[in-house]
Amino acid sequence: MERPSAIEAHGLAKSYGDVRVLRGIDLAIAPGTVFALLGPNGAGKTTTVRILATLLAADAGEARIAGRDIVAERSAVRRTISLTGQYAALDQELTGAENLRMMARLAGLSRAAARTRADELLARFRLTDAGHRRVGTYSGGMRRRLDLAASLVGEPAVVFLDEPTTGLDPRSRQEVWELVAGLADSGVTVLLTTQYLEEADRLADRIALMDGGLIVAEGTAAELKRRVADERLDLTLAGPEAYGTAERLLGDLVVRRDPDGLRLGVSTSGRADHVRELLDAVDPERRLVTRFAVHGTTLDDVFMALTGSPHHDVREEPAHV
């Protein structure tokens, strides 16, 4: 028997003044998975998370978290979830252990239970040796790990992560990715918003691409890539006039545009005969294209091909939770 969704939403709508930020969002996220929301600024990602986390009321629609209605059972939902914003919400003057014990006490644990829970989380997030140090002395990666640890004090079934690796160096980002993957392995459902497409590619079991307050595509990373193209043929053009001519001739086959670099990315099967056919079609006299290369399709290609709606105003939606 199929398990019920950990997060389920139908027809979520929200407007700020005359701007419709959400235009009817439907979601069904399986338990113990990582689900990523991608989209340009103003697409509606943060508003969606704020509604699901009971911080904002929708104008229309309904949603359930772990089977509980986010409006009628708001308090129960809040006991089931954890929300970690873009920036670490920690007391810089307290030690790592003190921060976790404080959060545990606020969650209703006894002093002894709070100490035990803090020690467990410090060990799980590889912070035991730093637990006695003030958080103000932590690196960015350590703070983010502690912030994630704090979000698990109450053992939530669902964790919302709003751009969890913003500002981190590559090594720290890799550490956070491992921790997020570990959350899902332990049965926690993770709803992730991110601007790093590689992050979604690495972590997410499923991805929803938002634009203009709508979900314009959903699926696994592989499914979304196949929707745009099997492969991408990158063309470098001889000049602005050649770029314009090639762009016009290729039309809907173009999945990536870089006018400053005089480069166009074109959908292709990757087969040699198809690549030759494209080159002959766009540059039969061998004067427009100076070089070409074939690459596998990336989520960047998906993002560029499927977003760009003019129906949203990036000024109207908060930048982060």
pLDDT tens digits, one per residue of 179-237: 889 889 989 999 999 888 888 999 999 999 999 999 999 999 989 888 876 688 999 99
- 186 bridge partner residues: none
Residue 185: CB partners within 8 Å, gap ≥ 6?
Answer: 32
Q: Which fold has domain 230-296?
A: Alpha-Beta Plaits (3.30.70)
Q: Identical fold at 7-220 and 230-296?
A: no
Say if residue 239 is exposed, middle or buried (CB neighbours under 10 Å; 0-12, 13-18, 19+). exposed
Q: If you classify domain 7-220 with CATH, what class do you get? A: alpha beta
Lowest mean pLDDT among 48-62, 150-164, 242-256, 293-307: 293-307
Domain ranges in the chain?
7-220, 230-296
pTM for the model stands at 0.79
Question: C-alpha 315: how far from its chain's center?
Answer: 20
pLDDT tens digits, one per residue of 38-66: 988 889 999 999 999 999 999 999 999 99
DSSP state of 73: T
Q: Are 212 and 311 in contact (CB under 8 A)?
A: yes
Residue 193 Cα distances to 38, 121, 188, 207, angstroms? 6, 24, 16, 10
